[in-house]
Chains A and B, each alone.
Chain A
Amino acid sequence: MLMFSYLMATGITTGAFYALVALGIVIVYKSTEVVNLAHGDLFMVGGMLAYTCYVMGGIPYLPSLLLAVAGAFVVGILTERVAYRSVLKHGLASVLVATIGVSFVLKGIGRYIWGGKGDYLAFPPIVSPEPLQFGNIMIMSQQLVVLFAVIVVMAALALFFKRTRAGKWMQATASNPKAAMLCGLRIDRIYMYTFAVGAALAGAAGVLMAPLTHLYPDVGFVLFIKGMAAAVLGGLTSIPGAVLGGVLLGLAEQLAAGYLHSSFQDVVAFLVIMFALIFLPTGLLGARGLRKV
C-alpha cells in the first residue's frame, strides 16, 4: 500500500511537469494549429537564461524568473518573425518544418553559450531541498511548487481565453483565419504573440522545473515528447485536457515502472501517443466538432 501511495503521489507530481510543458504546446496549437516542435528548446532557453541571471549573475530569484520569461517571450517573437512568418503562406507543413529548424538552432546556441560549463548544470531549488512528509509518504517540495504553478497557469490561461479580447482574438484566428482577417484582426500579429506567449510559458516551465530536471542544451527534447504525449492524450485544443493528460501520463509511467518493470517507464509516453492517435484522435477533452463544408 505504501508503494502504491508513493507511486500515485509521484505520478501526480511528475504529471504536473508534463502538464506544464503540454500547456505551452496547447496554447500555440489552439491558436495557430501548429505543433511547435521547438517548444522543448524554448524550455531550455528559459532555464538557461534563469541560470545565467540567478546562479551566474547573482540576481535574486524572482527578477531572474521574470527576466527569463521575458527573454523567452522575445525569443518567441524573433522565431515567429524570422522563421515562421515567411513560410506560413506555404501551409502548416512548412511551419512545422521551420519549427524543427528553430529547434536545432536553439540547441546549437545553447551548446555554444552554456555547453562548456559541464555536462549538467545544477539549478538550486527555490524552496527547501529536503522532502516534506504528507501522511506516511514524502514528497519533494520543489515538485509541489510545480504542481501549484500548473494550477495557477491553467487558471490564468482559462481566464485569458474566456475573459480577454486578446484571448478571444486568438481563438477566432484559430477557428477561421480568413473570417478573423475580414473582421479586421491582424492575424500575423496574433500569430506572433501566440508564439511569444507559448515561448514565455515554456520559459516559465524551464525556470520552475530546472531544480528537478537540471539544465543542459538537450534537456527540452524528452520533456517535449512527454508534454506532447500529454497534450495529445488530453486533446491538443484543450487546456484542462493538457493538465489531465499530463497527470494520467505521469501516473501511467509510475505504475508501469513500479508494478511491471522500470524499463517500461519511458516507453509509456510513446504508447500513449499511439493509443491516443488511434482510439482518441481528438483526445479526452479536445474539440470534437467537425467543420462541415
Chain B
Amino acid sequence: MKRLSTTITASLAFAAITALDAQAQGANVPGITNSEIKVGSFGPLTGPVYIYGKLTMNGVEVYFNKLNQAGGVHGRKLVLVREDDLCKPEGAIAAVKKLVHDHKVFAIIGGGCSNPTLAARPDIEKERIPFHVFAAVADGIVDPPAANIYTTQITASIESKAQIQWAIDKGAKKLAIVAQHDAWGRARYEPMIQDFKRRGLQVVADEEVTVDQNDGTAQALKLKASGADAVMLLGYPKAAAVVIRDSIKIGYKPLWIGQTAIQDLPALQGLIGISGALADFVSITTVPGHPDNPQYAEWRKLLKDTFPNDDLSVFNLMGIAAAEVFGKVLEAAGKDLTREKFLAAYNTIDNFKSSIYPGPITCKGGHKCNESPAFVKLENNNVVFAGTVALK
C-alpha cells in the first residue's frame, strides 16, 4: 500500500514538473506548448489575387494536417493561424503585428505577394520571428539577408536571368520582353534589364501588358515587326495567353519563355484555346509536373479531404512544398524548441530532395534556399521536363 502511494506521489510530482516545464517553455517561447506549435501565415485571402495567399495556405494546412495525423513534430501538433493582408503593404504590416502580438505565433510561413512582404520585412526583422517565404519572389525580401528570413521560392532575379540564359542557350539572337509593369512585374523586369545590360545585349522590343488584358494584337504586331526570335513573358497567365493567342493570329511564332506564374501549361493551353499553341513555349517551374499528374494523387486526396471545393493547383503545391521544408527544419530543431534553435536548424538543410520542388533545397550558408530553376514544356498535353540552365 505504502509502495503504491509512493508510486502515485512520484507520478503526480513528475506530471507537475513536466507541466511546469511546458508552461515555462510556453512562457519563454511564444506559440509553443507541450502539445502544439502555433504557426502564423499572411497573404491575400480575399481580393483579386487571393490565390497567392489562400490557396498556398490551403497547401500549407494540408501538409500540416499530414504531419499532425502522423503525430506532429516531436509530439507537437502544428496549428496554422491565417491573416489576410489583401496583397497590400499596410495589410501585411498589420497582419505581421497581429500574428506576433495577438496570436503570439512561434514562426511565420507566408508572404503571398512581393511588395507587401517587402513592406513587412522591417517588422519581421525587428521581432526576430522566424519567417519562411512560401510564394513572394522579390529578391529584397531575403537580399540582403536577414538572420530570421528564409525563402524556398525561386526569387525573381534568378528567374529573369534564367529566362535570358535559356534564350541564349537555344541560339536566339533577337530577344524581346512582354511585361506587366505592376509591382510584381517590375520585380522581374528590372533585374532582367540589368542582366541584359550586364551581358551587353539589346532588347529589340519592350512591350507592356496588364494583368486583365483581353487583347494582345498591338503587342504581337510590334513583336513581329521587331523580328524577335525569343520573347520573355513577364506576366500572369491571362496576359500571357492573350499575347500568345494574338501572335498566332497574326502568324508570329517565336520561342516563348515564361516564368513560374505561368508554369501550369495545360491551364495556359486551355486559356489560349488554339491547339499546338505552346509548341515553342517553355516555362520555369516550381512544380515539375501538372497538379493532375499521378505523382500528386496523395496531395489531391488530402486537399479534397480538407477543402472539398478546391481542385489541386500549383499554388496548393507551392504551399505544400514550402511546408515540407518548414517541417523538416522543425524536426531538425529538436524537441526543446526555441526560435534560435529553429533558425539554426535551417543550416542543416543541405541538398534536401523535396517531394515537390524540382531541384535540391539548400539553406546552408544562404537564405535563398532554392536556386535551381528548371524548365518545363508541353508535349502531347503532358508537362515534361525541358532542362535547366547554368547561370553565369
B313, A119: Cβ atoms closer than 8 Å? yes
B250, A138: Cβ atoms closer than 8 Å? yes
B271, A125: Cβ atoms closer than 8 Å? no
B85 shortest CB reach to chain A, Å? 16
0/1 per residue, A1-28, Cβ < 8 Å to B? 0010011001000100100000000000
A101 within 8 A of B: no
A265, B248: Cβ atoms closer than 8 Å? no
Residues 199 to 254 of chain B near chain A (Cβ within 8 Å): 207-210, 212-215, 217-219, 221-222, 225, 236-238, 241, 245-246, 248-251
A262, B225: Cβ atoms closer than 8 Å? no
B289 shortest CB reach to chain A, Å? 16
B51 within 8 A of A: yes
**In the bound complex, how far is the Cα of B311 from the Cα of A7, in angstroms?**
39
For B270, the chain A residues whose CB sits under 8 A away are 122
Contacts A111-B46, A120-B237, A265-B210 hold; do A257 and B218 have CB atoms under 8 A apart?
Answer: yes
**In the bound complex, how far is the Cα of B254 from the Cα of A258, in angstroms?**
19
**In the bound complex, how far is the Cα of B215 from the Cα of A15, in angstroms?**
11
For A6, the chain B residues whose CB sits under 8 A away are 217, 221, 250
Which single residue of chain B is at the shortest CB-CB distance from A130? B274
**In the bound complex, how far is the Cα of B221 from the Cα of A73, in angstroms?**
40
B196 within 8 A of A: no
For A219, the chain B residues whose CB sits under 8 A away are 212
B210, A120: Cβ atoms closer than 8 Å? no
Which single residue of chain A is at the shortest CB-CB distance from B269? A122
A39 shortest CB reach to chain B, Å? 16
Residues 94 to 127 of chain A near chain B (Cβ within 8 Å): 108, 111-113, 115-120, 122, 124-125
**In the bound complex, how far is the Cα of B269 from the Cα of A124, in angstroms?**
11
A263 within 8 A of B: yes
**In the bound complex, how far is the Cα of B245 from the Cα of A140, in angstroms?**
9
A122, B50: Cβ atoms closer than 8 Å? no
For B221, the chain A residues whose CB sits under 8 A away are 3, 6-7, 258
Residue in A108, A129, A139 with the greatest tally of chain B CB atoms within 10 Å: A129
Which single residue of chain B is at the shortest CB-CB distance from A10? B217
B267, A118: Cβ atoms closer than 8 Å? yes
A118, B311: Cβ atoms closer than 8 Å? yes
0/1 per residue, A199-241, Cβ < 8 Å to B? 0000000000001111011110111000000000000000000
Contacts A10-B218, A130-B274 hold; do A113 and B309 have CB atoms under 8 A apart?
Answer: yes
Which single residue of chain A is at the shortest CB-CB distance from B48? A218
Q: How large is the interface on A (under 10, 10 to 19, 20 to 34, 35 or more residues)?
A: 35 or more
B217, A122: Cβ atoms closer than 8 Å? no
Choice from B46, B215, B222 contacting A108 with Cβ under 8 Å: B46
A63 within 8 A of B: no
**In the bound complex, how far is the Cα of B221 from the Cα of A261, in angstroms?**
12
B237, A258: Cβ atoms closer than 8 Å? no
**In the bound complex, how far is the Cα of B312 from the Cα of A5, in angstroms?**
43
A219 shortest CB reach to chain B, Å? 8
A116, B218: Cβ atoms closer than 8 Å? no
For B236, the chain A residues whose CB sits under 8 A away are 119
**In the bound complex, how far is the Cα of B250 from the Cα of A7, in angstroms?**
11
B215, A14: Cβ atoms closer than 8 Å? yes
Choice from A212, A218, A254, A261 contacting B217 with Cβ under 8 Å: A254
B271, A140: Cβ atoms closer than 8 Å? no
B94 shortest CB reach to chain A, Å? 20
A254, B46: Cβ atoms closer than 8 Å? no
B142 shortest CB reach to chain A, Å? 25
B181 within 8 A of A: yes
For A108, the chain B residues whose CB sits under 8 A away are 46
B55 within 8 A of A: yes
B122 within 8 A of A: no
For A7, the chain B residues whose CB sits under 8 A away are 217-218, 221
**In the bound complex, how far is the Cα of B236 from the Cα of A222, in angstroms?**
16
**In the bound complex, how far is the Cα of B235 from the Cα of A79, in angstroms?**
35
For A112, the chain B residues whose CB sits under 8 A away are 309
Choice from A111, A117, A263 contacting B50 with Cβ under 8 Å: A111
**In the bound complex, how far is the Cα of B221 from the Cα of A108, in angstroms?**
38
B218, A265: Cβ atoms closer than 8 Å? yes
Which single residue of chain A is at the shortest CB-CB distance from B207? A262
For B54, the chain A residues whose CB sits under 8 A away are 115
A140, B214: Cβ atoms closer than 8 Å? no
B260 shortest CB reach to chain A, Å? 12
For A222, the chain B residues whose CB sits under 8 A away are 210, 212
B274, A119: Cβ atoms closer than 8 Å? no
For A266, the chain B residues whose CB sits under 8 A away are 210, 213
- 30 residue pairs from A and B, CB less than 8 Å apart: A3-B221, A3-B225, A6-B221, A7-B218, A7-B221, A10-B215, A10-B217, A10-B218, A111-B46, A115-B50, A116-B55, A116-B310, A119-B313, A119-B315, A120-B237, A120-B241, A122-B270, A122-B271, A122-B273, A129-B273, A130-B274, A138-B251, A140-B249, A214-B238, A216-B238, A221-B212, A222-B210, A222-B212, A254-B215, A262-B219
A120-B241, A257-B219 known; 15 new pairs, CB 8 Å cut-off, are A10-B246, A17-B214, A115-B50, A115-B54, A116-B313, A118-B264, A118-B267, A118-B313, A120-B267, A122-B271, A138-B249, A139-B249, A223-B214, A254-B215, A263-B208
Interface positions of A (Cβ within 8 A of B) = 3, 6-7, 10, 14, 17, 108, 111-113, 115-120, 122, 124-125, 129-131, 138-140, 211-214, 216-219, 221-223, 254, 257-258, 261-263, 265-266
Closest 4 pairs between A and B when the two form their complex, measured CB to CB: A116-B310, A122-B270, A257-B218, A222-B212
